[in-house]
Structure formats: structure tokens, C-alpha cells
Amino acid sequence: EGYASIDALMDDGFRRTRWTPGFTFPGPARRSGLLGPMTAIDHVFATRDLRPLSAFVASAIPGSDHLPVVVDYALPLTPRADR
């Protein structure tokens, strides 16, 4: 429900650029055994006037139980009228 509420107003940059789910949890700090991340619970949201160019799940950060999500965006050429 929380994701859908935000997604109705903004775009998930990873989902717009990739067809893979982008699993980010659990990261190495929480993982037990050999299984890697199995859930996509980390997202990068932006307004729809920003266009995502690429996205990826980055390598683990020491001590974190999530993997970071990185999204590169193109800025709009013209400013928004409501600002």
C-alpha cells in the first residue's frame, strides 16, 4: 500500500529503466547462508519531469543490511511552470 501511494504521484526510476526487479534485501550484513538478496524494498522516486537514464543495484556497503539503488536522471531542458 505504501509503495502504490508514492508510485501514484512519482515514478520509480529503477522500474522505468530496468525489467529486472532490483533485489536489495537482505544485504550481506543480515544474510545467512549463500542466498543473495530476494526482495526489492529500496526505491528511488522522482517527479515525472525527470527522465531516468540508467539504474543499477550497487555493491554492498559495509554494515548495511540493504544494497544501494543508483539511478541517473536527465534534467528537464525547461523549468517547470509551477516553480
Q: Which residues pair with 56 in a beta bridge?
A: 70
DSSP strands (E only) in 1-83: 11-12, 45-46, 51-57, 69-74
pLDDT digits (tens, 9 = 90+) for 56-66: 999 888 888 89
Bond preceding residue 26 cis, omega within 30 of 0: yes
pLDDT digits (tens, 9 = 90+) for 42-83: 999 999 999 999 999 998 888 888 999 999 999 888 766 665
What is the pLDDT at residue 50? 93
